[in-house]
Structure 1
Amino acid sequence: MGIADRLFGSARDRFGKEVAARVRAVDAVARADYDPVEFQVVVQGARGGEPSIINLETVFRETQGAPAGVRRAAIGRLVDIAALPPTPDHWDDVRATLRPVLRPIPADPKFDLVSRPAGPYLSEMLVLDTPSAMRYAARTDLKRWEVSAEEAFATAHRNMARTVTTSLDEARRREGSAEPIRLTDNGDAYLTSLPLVQGWLATMHRLAGARPLAFPISNNTLLLAYETDDAAALAKAFEVAEREWRESARPISPAPLTVDDEGAVVLYQPAHDHPAHAAVKHAQILLAMDAYGPQTEYLRAIAGPGDPFPAALKGFRSPEGAEVTAASWADDETSLLPAADVVAFPKHNEKMLLIPWTVVAEEARLTPAEGYHPARYRVGEWPDADVMERMRKLAAEAAEAARGQG
């Protein structure tokens, strides 16, 4: 710990206290308390009612090492949240303002904001689109409005569906090119929410004559490309998406969403021999690790004696360049496995056994544990010896078949 930390507290605490002090100066605020454990500011409005929460982690990380002016401006935006008028108490006053937004999965399942899975590695949340700012809807809001999450999401989708005309005009001009175009949000268009709108991707498919690839890079940028056999064009689309995702202050996904033959929105998954297969695999591994990483950290932080051990998802690249994810199943403890390409069975003084996830899931009858997104699977001791031997043989057969295809 440096001298500044000893005298004034850690950088995190200094940041939190500065936010709390500036929030207290807002006329609409009766009280603002910094909570160093949760790293948030709890705000009580002058009109009473439920306190609101300002989470500090994202903005703190974004402004670490930034000039003082950038940090002050970021804190100013947090203070603006506290100055917003209270969320209306009645459903009729908010229903027209609801919008769906695509976001990374909150690591903490007790996160109060209204959230539901949007595929394996993303979440869909609800916001109120007010003239002055965007505000996330909380579960306490739904109780006050006396509506279910399903009804609120359906309403938000209907509101969002009225805003898609411009993006459809873009599709008509693309004519199946994989050259990515950038749709940048001006603050109220919610462009990265477009893939959530029922029928939007399917309409893009029909208009462009090619399967759309929608990259929700960040909260304000959507890259749009189309499936093609042009390997160079596809490589460029994925390179641009990954670079901008890595550079974004509020990243969402480097992997594209598309629509399947039944019209459902899914992560793009081409055939193994498609020129985009390796790029898609790489992007999905980045997305999976970005979702599982914070979840693993959170679960390990709250785990108590006797709780199952949250196994980590790890990425590997073979000498030939193939990428896979793996999770370890220990024989001497109860674990929560993340979904991976390969399950590792480590044994002391023996070569580690690696078995494809599909084989393990079938033979060991894995089922998702309740309450985890992304999914986790509770496992204990290894399966019986006959099951292990059968999995070993199936893994060997799969490896031989893969070599034959190569």
Structure 2
Amino acid sequence: MGFLSGVFGKRRSDSDDYAAFGEWALTIVRARPGIVSAEFDAAEFTITYATPAGGWAQISLATPYRAVSAAPRELAGDVLMFQLNRLIDNGEDDSSGLAWATVAPRLRPLIRQAGGLATRVQGLSIADNTLWRPLLPCLMERVVIDKPTSMESVTPQHLATWGVDADTVFETARANMAELGSAIVDVFDPADGVLYLADEDGEMYAGALPLAGGWIAGLGAKAGALPIVFVPGSVGVFVGFATSPQRVRELVEVARGLFDDAERPVSPVPYTLDEHGGLVPFTVPRHHPAWPAIRSAESTLAAQAYGTQHDGLRADLDAELIEDHAATLMHVRGGDGIETTVAPWSDTVPTLLPHAHNVSLTNVDTGATFGVPWHVLATEVDLVPVPGLFPVRYRVQYHPGPQAMARMAAAQGLR
């Protein structure tokens, strides 16, 4: 496949259409007998519902959306109801009672934005009722049970039934991707320059291939260059190689287009392997031609993930479940055209501060405000992550003393 072949040309998603479709589908699911509760996740384009047995299940709306889009208008409602009933019927074999040996081969990992962990369904926290772990900035790793037409989220409750710990579940799910990863490396032709697996129906779980041991390294070894991998959406994966600074910039731009067009975006940020073989963000110095595009990608991902998290934390504050104000992460463009993120901190206000490129400090008595880069703030303030929150936030309240404020004011300016 040539560098641009099969990458461009996909119709840009209309978020309003997807939201309206999701709410329509949610109404049908909630009306189905036996459904205890259900919630629509616009970011994931899924519906999560609680079963009478006390379990959780999730259905993707991608297939129903395509089916309804292709159906005559007068049959759209019937087609949607058929599709949803089929997915729920196939998902009703709750796996919580299955033996570990039976369910282990069906486990698959997922890479997802982590902001939704702060959301509640029927009053229950997603973070507390989903098996997950931090993976990369703003991204988490989850595990699901693969089913013929749906997937079931693994929960902490499954572990007790199966008699295994969380690490075993995560590593088993990753190991289940090894065969596919090896086969793809075997057939990959380095002359193509890139590898793009669209996996539009998600049946291959190609978006999780970066978690398969040796997969990224194998592609890099075959190409003879440093691999750069992207997970733009919830399905598919895009890989290129850092053969030149200009090539890196091209790869980041193509991946950004895939991210912007994704029905359920995950991340436009480039990733690679560190010296230990771990997945890490791909970084370049500020003078590199790809730096502005990578900075934009990092800012966009952070704004989306922290924005979703903020909505959940704000709902908890309104319900008096927490007492701290969650600061909004603002995605802005500086006068030099460089994109950045800024989080506000008003003195005396108990605040859950997101990790941002910059923080604006405001004196509530005078209204005076100035911004400082995060690394400058971190030298003056003891920033301790709040346990259980991901993406990470830091609890702050009072600005530091006059001398520290003066030092930060002298270093003010967006980074």
- Are 1:32 and 2:35 an aligned pair? yes
Indicate how the Cα distance of structure 1 residues 73 and 346 shifts in structure 2: closer, same or farther if over 3 A, else same: farther
After TM superposition, give the deviation of residue 120 of structure 1 in Å. 1.4
Instruction: List gaps (5 residues or longer) in structure 1.
Output: 1-9, 25-30
1:319-373 superposed Cα distances (whole Å, 9 cap, x missing partner): 2111111101110311000000111012365652111101111211211111111
After TM superposition, give the deviation of residue 81 of structure 1 in Å. 3.4
CA distance in 2 between partners of 1:103 and 1:71 (Å): 30
Q: 2:356 aligns with which of 324, 328, 340?
A: 340
Q: 1:95 aligns with which of 87, 94, 104?
A: 104
Which structure exhibits the higher relative contact order, with contacts defined as CA atoms closer than 8 Å and separated by 6 or more residues?
2
Structure 2 matches for 1:304-343, cutoff 5 A?
A: 304=318, 307-343=323-359
Identity over the aligned pairs, expressed in percent? 28
Aligned residue for 1:266, secondary structure, equals: strand
Give the counterpart letter for 1:99 in structure 2. R
2:281 corresponds in structure 1 to 267
2:166 corresponds in structure 1 to 149
CA distance in 2 between partners of 1:360 and 1:193 (Å): 36
Q: 1:50 aligns with which of 45, 48, 54?
A: 54
Structure 2 matches for 1:88-127, cutoff 5 A?
A: 88-109=97-118, 110-111=125-126, 112-127=129-144
Query: Is the contact between residue 114 and residue 390 of structure 2 (CA under 8 Å) also seen in structure 1?
Result: yes
Indicate how the Cα distance of structure 1 residues 208 and 225 shifts in structure 2: closer, same or farther if over 3 A, else same: same
Query: Is the contact between residue 115 and residue 138 of structure 2 (CA under 8 Å) also seen in structure 1?
Result: no
Q: 1:289 aligns with which of 303, 312, 329?
A: 303
2:392 corresponds in structure 1 to 375
After TM superposition, give the deviation of residue 288 of structure 1 in Å. 0.9
Aligned residue for 1:94, secondary structure, equals: helix
What TM-score do the two structures reach when normalised by structure 1?
A: 0.81
CA distance in 2 between partners of 1:68 and 1:292 (Å): 40
- Are 1:238 and 2:252 an aligned pair? yes
1:18 corresponds in structure 2 to 28
1:82 corresponds in structure 2 to 88
After TM superposition, give the deviation of residue 108 of structure 1 in Å. 3.4
More off after superposition, 284-293 vs 83-92: 83-92
CA distance in 1 between partners of 2:82 and 2:204 (Å): 23
CA distance in 2 between partners of 1:370 and 1:141 (Å): 23
Query: Is the contact between residue 59 and residue 150 of structure 2 (CA under 8 Å) also seen in structure 1?
Result: no
RMSD, aligned CA: 3.2
CA distance in 1 between partners of 2:361 and 2:77 (Å): 47
Give the counterpart letter for 2:229 in structure 1. A
Indicate how the Cα distance of structure 1 residues 187 and 337 shifts in structure 2: closer, same or farther if over 3 A, else same: closer
1:142-176 superposed Cα distances (whole Å, 9 cap, x missing partner): 2221221111111112221222123313655247x
CA distance in 2 between partners of 1:254 and 1:347 (Å): 36
Aligned residue for 2:268, secondary structure, equals: coil
Indicate how the Cα distance of structure 1 residues 124 and 174 shifts in structure 2: closer, same or farther if over 3 A, else same: farther
Instruction: List gaps (5 residues or longer) in structure 2.
Output: 1-19, 42-46, 119-124
After TM superposition, give the deviation of residue 15 of structure 1 in Å. 4.5
Aligned residue for 2:94, secondary structure, equals: coil
After TM superposition, give the deviation of residue 394 of structure 1 in Å. 4.1
- Are 1:165 and 2:182 an aligned pair? yes
Query: Is the contact between residue 54 and residue 78 of structure 1 (CA under 8 Å) also seen in structure 2?
Result: no
Give the counterpart letter for 1:80 in structure 2. R
Indicate how the Cα distance of structure 1 residues 37 and 220 shifts in structure 2: closer, same or farther if over 3 A, else same: closer
Query: Is the contact between residue 16 and residue 34 of structure 1 (CA under 8 Å) also seen in structure 2?
Result: no
After TM superposition, give the deviation of residue 78 of structure 1 in Å. 3.6
Query: Is the contact between residue 342 and residue 357 of structure 1 (CA under 8 Å) also seen in structure 2?
Result: yes
Indicate how the Cα distance of structure 1 residues 13 and 235 shifts in structure 2: closer, same or farther if over 3 A, else same: closer
Aligned residue for 2:145, secondary structure, equals: strand
2:209 corresponds in structure 1 to 194
More off after superposition, 376-385 vs 204-213: 204-213
Q: 1:140 aligns with which of 110, 135, 157?
A: 157
Query: Is the contact between residue 117 and residue 123 of structure 1 (CA under 8 Å) also seen in structure 2?
Result: yes
Query: Is the contact between residue 113 and residue 136 of structure 1 (CA under 8 Å) also seen in structure 2?
Result: yes
CA distance in 2 between partners of 1:115 and 1:392 (Å): 40
CA distance in 2 between partners of 1:200 and 1:138 (Å): 27
Query: Is the contact between residue 132 and residue 141 of structure 2 (CA under 8 Å) also seen in structure 1?
Result: yes
Indicate how the Cα distance of structure 1 residues 244 and 36 shifts in structure 2: closer, same or farther if over 3 A, else same: closer
After TM superposition, give the deviation of residue 133 of structure 1 in Å. 3.5
Aligned residue for 1:273, secondary structure, equals: coil
CA distance in 2 between partners of 1:262 and 1:34 (Å): 44
Q: How many residues align?
A: 372
CA distance in 2 between partners of 1:74 and 1:167 (Å): 35
Query: Is the contact between residue 206 and residue 235 of structure 2 (CA under 8 Å) also seen in structure 1?
Result: yes
After TM superposition, give the deviation of residue 35 of structure 1 in Å. 5.6
Pair member with larger Rg: 1
What TM-score do the two structures reach when normalised by structure 2?
A: 0.79
CA distance in 2 between partners of 1:54 and 1:165 (Å): 29
Query: Is the contact between residue 59 and residue 87 of structure 2 (CA under 8 Å) also seen in structure 1?
Result: no
Query: Is the contact between residue 48 and residue 56 of structure 2 (CA under 8 Å) also seen in structure 1?
Result: no
1:57-116 superposed Cα distances (whole Å, 9 cap, x missing partner): x77xx79x9767667655544433321223152111111111111112152342122111
